[in-house]
Structure 1
């Protein structure tokens, strides 16, 4: 048995050094698992650079983007069997692979983990539970099939929301500060300082959210992709939404190793499709109460209004259009400047546009059937999620 030694993963209590151990495990994976893949040895002879697994390559391009643009970024790649989540917050990169959370081979596990009531809270159509169970099993044994009816599409996207939500929860539990580190405290920190081991993933600090994977990248309507991302990840403050149009992120991740600038340029011009911007406050959902007032202005447009709790509004904006959005939240709602304090954002457009979300954070979907369907239908209508022509593209 070959024995490998690497540097201590935690040389001192205040510092972690995971890279050497991670690289060693990665090398073992390539040597003992990937080496048995058909044609792998021939592939190695063709390539001058090391072969990278898909999650490693996607994480590499996300790190490059975050570093070059000095932003906090989150990426997700949802597949048939697993869901990968990548994040870069304040320069710290984390990657998690949620096994058994996928849209075909693992769809049954998603339904079991999330429970059917949690999935059905995203469904606005009447569905026979027996047909739903049949759909789940058929998807497992025929993983390449795509939805052929409105009902199947709505249900599959509801499952995707829950798979993404569960994967994100697992990611936040993994991406934490060091536990057991002694913190210096002052009297002023008594009521504000976080305990050690807290998650470093903060939705209020998130600048860019990138989606990848069939159910997100190839949704019939890009508004559906944006809605799934917002419902699953619950971004706060201002967050730019984008998707990987042609599953190019893994290839660009490899390219970024040898030419970061070229990889970033191709990513921006040919790979990334900007969907738009989501602006949402942190605060508890209070039915019927005022959430915030907004004022949107640009060179050619100006609009003001009020958002009630539970509402969503879509403002179509061109991809190259920029607008200034000023929000004045009610007490108890925070856009990043503090509870009830005014905040100004510079928002960009996209294929979807600007989305204002006043449903509260954490997101609370009404439980009563009447209120649930009323609000869900209002969101679907406002975001234009399921127009008739779009279904013909499925």
Structure 2
């Protein structure tokens, strides 16, 4: 067992540390609507309970940056971040596990941790049992590829385009392999199904709002993480 001392990062009192470490621009890049720095700062430091979709999406943005910076601290402490990203099973706990929708928890996980292989993802809300929510297949194809899916009911093949991000509705034990990418794995997909993440690593949303907002909105929609795209 290894341990590291980390600066408090989180969605409660630790949110100020997240903003200082990450910067407002890095928090803002995850929001699927335009907002200037003063307005965002006001929302961060005057947050109440996350009861609206906009407040939940702000928590998700903060959580992504908290995870990313916690991983940097872990790496600085000499621990193996690559092993964490390639773990076959990942458990989400804390506030992220208690977000209203499983897709919101999964989106924060894949954006913040950036898994690098095939992982079965669970979440354990503060008051509840751990539940399997999905299986993530992370791949960075340089050209269109195909993923082979094997389950008890048969085999299937799905196309994987560079930059694609979406769910395949499968609730069975599955084996997956991506041709030409060296990605293979086995697991159970969970309630959300199989998430194919071909957005590349490191993950970087577009910088210009005109490109960033529709891209981030599309990622939220893919996991049903934002029902109201016009939330502000």
Give the TM-score band, short-chain normalised: 0.7 to 0.9
CA distance in 2, matches of 1:95, 1:170: 11
TM-score, normalising length: structure 1: 0.53
Aligned with residue 121 of structure 2, among 222, 228, 241: 241
Partner residue, 1:322 = 173
Q: 1:160: how far off?
A: 0.9
Structure ranking higher in helix proportion: 1
Q: Sort the Cα spacing of 1:377 and 1:303 in 2 relative to 1 into closer, same or farther, 3 A.
A: farther
Higher-RCO chain (CA-CA 8 Å, sequence separation at least 6): 2
Q: CA deviation at 1:97?
A: 4.4
- Describe how 1:1-394 pairs up with structure 2 within 5 A: 93-139=1-47, 145-176=48-79, 199=80, 201-203=82-84, 205-214=86-95, 216-246=96-126, 271-281=129-139, 290-300=143-153, 302-318=155-171, 321-329=172-180, 334=181, 337=182, 343-387=183-227
* CA deviation profile, 1:217-252 (whole Å, cap 9, x unmatched): 2101011001101111111111111122346xxxxx
- Deviation readout 1:271-291 (Å, 9 max, x if unpaired): 3211121111257xxxxx625
User: Structure 1 residues 316 and 97 mapped into 2: Cα distance closer, same or farther (>3 Å)?
Assistant: farther
* Structure 1 residues 221 and 133: alpha-carbon distance in aligned structure 2, compared to 1, 3 A threshold: same
Q: Which runs of 4+ in 1 moved over 4 A?
A: none
User: Separation in 1 of the partners of 2:7 and 2:134?
Assistant: 30
Secondary structure, counterpart of 1:98 in structure 2: coil
Q: Structure 2: which 5+ runs fail to align?
A: none
Instruction: Tell me the secondary structure at the aligned position of residue 125 of structure 1.
Output: coil
C-alpha spacing 1:358/1:281, structure 2 compared with 1 (3 Å): same
CA drift at 1:167: 0.6
1: CA distance between counterparts of 2:23 and 2:193?
A: 32
Displacement of 1:175: 3.3
Measure how far apart 1:102 and its partner are: 1.9
Q: Distance in 2 between matches of 1:304 and 1:378?
A: 23
Q: How many residues align?
A: 229
Relative to structure 1, the CA distance from residue 147 to residue 351 in structure 2 (aligned partners, 3 Å threshold; closer, same or farther) is: same
Helix, strand or coil at the partner of 2:147: strand
- Deviation of 1:316 after TM superposition, in Å, equals 2.5
SS at match of 2:179: strand
Gap change, CA 1:148 and 1:387, over 3 Å in 2? same
Displacement of 1:295 after TM fit?
2.1
In structure 1, how many angstroms separate the alpha carbons of the residues matched to 2:17 and 2:126?
A: 27
1:42 paired residue number: none
